[in-house]
Amino acid sequence: MACADINMEIQGAEEAPGPEDKKEPLISYYQASEIMLDAKGPLHDLLQKQPAVLGSLQMMCGLLSVGVGVLFALTQEMAQSLFTLFRLSHLTGSLFIIAGLLSNLLFKYPRLLPVCFFVNCGCITVAAVAAALISTDLAHWNPQNKHHLKIETLQFLVLGLEAILSVVLCFWFWKERPTKGE
């Protein structure tokens, strides 16, 4: 195995060759003196958790909610259920689409963090009210409408998924909020 003892400092033509070096150096070598760490951007730790993925899931669940709402509006009478009467799926779906869109925009616009936090808190509140109204509907359901029962149960489960996504995002946003000293 070959071994060489090479000086790793930058050598230039202006230096006089040492007693062991009789020729001009053909190659200059560089030795790093310190390691420079990359500067972390705003919301670096939050963006490592990929809130845009959860935002995309929120938007997809919101679109599903709006679709279920349109289906119920076309096939059910207005006074047949609270779900249809208050247009819960339209309200929750559009709110979750907005929350998902804001979570996706957070990467490009970090100043939207407080807005995202408050919109997701609003989503949780609206989801809780909607879950209570859907539960009331399911408790007083007419047994002749089995198809609507299944779809409203699906909407209830999608609403639960939407609420869980918003809770996770609110927790992440709360941990990342700026302190008064910053």
DSSP code, position 160: H
Cα–Cα distance, 154 to 47 (Å, whole number): 31
Q: Does pTM top 0.75 for this prediction?
A: no
Handedness of CA 78, 83, 88, 93 (dihedral sign): negative
Q: Which domain holds residue 122?
A: 44-176
Identity of the amino acid at 63: L
pLDDT band at residue 124 under the 50/70/90 scheme: very high
Contacts of 178 (CB under 8 A, 6+ apart): 113
Tell me whether residue 156 is in a domain.
Answer: yes
Tell me whether residue 10 is in a domain.
Answer: no
Cα–Cα distance, 179 to 172 (Å, whole number): 15
Tell me whether residue 97 is in a domain.
Answer: yes
What is the residue whose two structure tokens read 């809780």? 128
Tell me whether residue 79 is in a domain.
Answer: yes
Q: For residue range 26-78, what is the model confidence (pLDDT) as tens digits? A: 666 666 677 777 777 677 777 788 888 989 999 999 999 999 989 888 888 87
Tell me whether residue 70 is in a domain.
Answer: yes
Q: What is the pLDDT of residue 62?
A: 94
Contacts of 14 (CB under 8 A, 6+ apart): none
Domains of the chain: total: 1
What is the residue whose two structure tokens read 């289906």? 71
Tell me whether residue 23 is in a domain.
Answer: no
Tell me whether residue 127 is in a domain.
Answer: yes
Which comes out higher in pLDDT, residue 154 or 4?
154
Burial class, 152, CB count within 10 angstroms (exposed 0-12 / middle 13-18 / buried 19+): buried
pLDDT band at residue 101 under the 50/70/90 scheme: very high
